[in-house]
Amino acid sequence: MKNQSILLIHPPVAKPGEPPAGLAKLAAALRADGIDCRTWDASLDGILGLLAKPAADATDTWTRRALAHRRENTDALRSISLYGNRDRYKRAVMDLNRVLYAAGKPAGVALSLANYTHPDLSPVRSGDLIRAAETFRDNPFFPIFSSQLEELFKEREPHVVGLSINFMSQALCAFAMIGCIRSMLGGATIVCGGGLVTSWLNIPGLGNPFHGLVDELVGGPGEARLISMCTGSRPDAPSTTGYDFSDMGMDRYLSPVPVRPYAASRGCWWKKCAFCPETAEDAPYRCEDAATTIDDLLRLNARFPAGLIHFLDNALSPRLLEEMTGRPPGLPWYGFARVTRHLADADFVQRLKQSGCVMLKLGIESGDQQVLSALGKGIDSEMAASVLHTLHKAGIATYVYLLFGTPAEDEARARRTLDFTLAHSGAIDFLNLAVFNLPAHSREAAQLETLDFYEGDLSLYREFVHPGGWNRDRVRRFLTREFKKPAPIRRILNNDPPFFTSNHAPFFHSTPI
C-alpha cells in the first residue's frame, strides 16, 4: 500500500515552556520510514492565541493591567533577564494567567497556563468526553484550533490524525478537537495515545468507549503501531533515541532559551516503589546504551540548537549519569534521579556539575525511615540528607518531592518529615508537597478499604480509609497549619515558579546559554 500521511497533535492545555517530546519522538520514527508526518502543538498555539486576542471588557484592575501588559509579559518570559527578578517574574506569569482566566470565563471554564476544568464536564467520564466532542464549538479554543485545522487540511488532508493526550488537563480539549476534526474530515482515521491514554487502557475491561469518534486507543510507545497503520508493515520495536523538532518552532515557547526535552529511557529502572503506576501498569524498562544516548544528544545539539536539556526519564540511570561525567551532553541539563550513594560522592557530583547538571529532581517522599521502607524506596533518610548536602556544595539545585498521607504514615511520622526538611532546608532549593492519591489498580489497593475518588469510568484513583485515621483532611490541615509555617520552609516554597514549577526552576539557579 502507498504510505498514508499523518498529522500529530498536542492538544491544550499543557505548560507552554517546551515542545512536546512525544510528538517529536513519533515524528522522527515516522519520517525515518518515509511517512509524510506533520506535527502541531495546538496547546501552544491555543494559549498564545488567547493571549493575543482582542482585549475583552474588564471590570477589575488586575484584569485591565494584565491585558495592557500581556505582550510585554510574553516577551519577558522569553528573556533571561526576567529570571533575575523573582517578584517581577511572578507578576508576569500571574498576569498572563489572568488573561487566560478571563478568556475562559465566557465559556464557563477555569483556564490557566497549566490546567483546564469545566464545571459540568469531567475528564474521568467517557460520556463527558463524548459530550465535549459534540459541543466542540463551545470550547474557548475553538476559534483558534478550527482555523488552524482548516489551514492544515487545505494544505493536504491527512489519512491519519493522532492526538497525544498525556495529562487530564488535555482530555476535554482533545475531544473537542476530535469533534471538530470529525466534522471536517469524516473519513480520517483518528488515533489517541500518550500517557493518560496508556493509563486508561490499563483499567480492567475498559476497551474503547469512544467508538464512532476515536478509531483506536494506543497504549505505550506508539511508533510501531502508527508506522503499521501508515504503511501496512510491522516495524521492529522502536528505539529510545531519535527526535525531530523541525516543525515545532522551539523559540516560540515561554522560556528564556529553547528547551529540548529528551527521554533516555522508557519505564523505570528501579520499579520497586509501592503504589507506583509503572508497577501497576507493568511498563517494561527500555533504554539504549549510555554511549549511544550521548551520541544522539550531540547530534541533536547540531540539528536543533537549544539552551537546556530536560531529561524526562522517570529516573536517570546511574550508567547514563556516569557516562555524562566523562562525555557531557554539550548543554546544561536537569532531570529526575533516584537518591543513590553515588550522588553522595563529592567527586562524582562535582563531575556531574561540570557535565552541565544544573538541577536534579529527587523523590525523597518522606523523612521517616519506616515510611520509606514501606514505600519500597530503597533509600534511608541519612543517605537522602547526604545527597542533598553534597549536591548543594557542588552548586546543583535540588527540587525535592515529598508525599504525605500514605498508608504507612501517621501524624507523628509526618512531623519527622517536617523535622527532616527543617534540618536540611539549607540544601533544598525547591519543594513539591503532594497529598497521596491511591492508584485504583495498584496491587496495594486490594489491601485497603476503598471508596470512589472521582466518579467516572476513567478514574485512575480510589479514596481509601486510612488505617491510622490519617485522612486527607487531616493531612491538608497539617500541611497548612504546621508544615508550611516555619520561615525556612516558607522561603523554599516561595521559590517555586507559579504554574511552570520545575520547568522554569533551573533558570533561577543557573543561566543556561
Range 322-326 average pLDDT: 97
CA–CA separation, 200 vs 452, rounded Å?
A: 16
Give the helix/strand (H/E) hosting 92: helix 86-104
The helix, strand and coil proportions of the chain, stated in percent and rounded to the nearest 5, come to: 45, 15, 40
* Mean pLDDT, the chain, integer: 93
Grid cell in block for residue 51: 493571549
pLDDT value of position 238: 63
pLDDT value of position 266: 85
Q: What is the pLDDT of residues 475-511, one digit of tens each?
A: 999 999 999 999 999 999 999 999 999 999 999 986 5
pLDDT value of position 176: 98
State the residue range of the domain holding 159: 6-48+118-231
pLDDT value of position 267: 81
Range 416-424 average pLDDT: 98
Final residue in a domain of this structure, among 216, 231, 246:
231
Q: Which residues pair with 361 in a beta bridge?
A: 336, 399
pLDDT value of position 25: 96
Does the pLDDT of residue 65 top 60, yes or no?
Answer: yes
Say if CB 359 and CB 315 are below 8 A apart. no
Number of domains in the chain: 3
Q: What is the DSSP string of 373-435?
A: HHTT----HHHHHHHHHHHHHHT-EEEEEEEE--TT--HHHHHHHHHHHHHTGGG--EEEEEE
Across 158-162, 230-234, 295-299, 451-455, least confident range? 451-455
Q: Classify residue 176: in a domain, yes or no.
A: yes
Peptide bond into 387 cis (omega under 30): no
Range 427-433 average pLDDT: 98
Say if CB 77 and CB 92 are below 8 A apart. yes
Q: Please tell me whether residues 276 and 341 are part of one structural domain.
A: yes
Say if CB 314 and CB 263 are below 8 A apart. no
Q: Classify residue 442: in a domain, yes or no.
A: yes
Range 276-285 average pLDDT: 69
Across 313-396, the runs of DSSP E, i.e. the strands, are 333-337, 357-365
Q: Please tell me whether residues 432 and 368 are part of one structural domain.
A: yes
Identify the CA nearest to 153 among candidates 102, 187, 103, 125.
187
Q: Please tell me whether residues 455 and 353 are part of one structural domain.
A: yes
Grid cell in block for residue 425: 532546608
Give the helix/strand (H/E) hosting 57: none
Across 197-211, 263-277, 349-363, 383-397, least confident range? 263-277
Q: Kindly report the CATH number assigned to the domain that includes residue 358.
A: 3.20.20.70
pLDDT value of position 232: 84
Q: Classify residue 511: in a domain, yes or no.
A: no
Say if CB 442 and CB 375 are below 8 A apart. no
Q: Please tell me whether residues 105 and 210 are part of one structural domain.
A: no
Residue 193 or residue 286, greater confidence = 193
Q: Classify residue 246: in a domain, yes or no.
A: no
Q: What is the pLDDT of residues 10-32, one digit of tens each?
A: 999 999 999 999 999 999 999 99
Q: Please tell me whether residues 329 and 448 are part of one structural domain.
A: yes
pLDDT value of position 230: 93
pLDDT value of position 1: 53
pLDDT value of position 277: 67
Instruction: List Cβ neighbours of 166 (8 Å cut-off, separation of 6 or more).
Output: 14, 20, 22, 194, 195, 196
Q: Classify residue 242: in a domain, yes or no.
A: no
Identify the CA nearest to 408 among candidates 442, 440, 448, 452.
448
Q: What is the pLDDT of residues 159-187, one digit of tens each?
A: 999 999 999 999 999 999 999 999 999 88
Does the pLDDT of residue 106 top 50, yes or no?
Answer: yes
513: pLDDT confidence band, cut at 50, 70 and 90? very low
For the chain, what percent of residues have pLDDT higher than 90?
Answer: 83
pLDDT value of position 233: 80
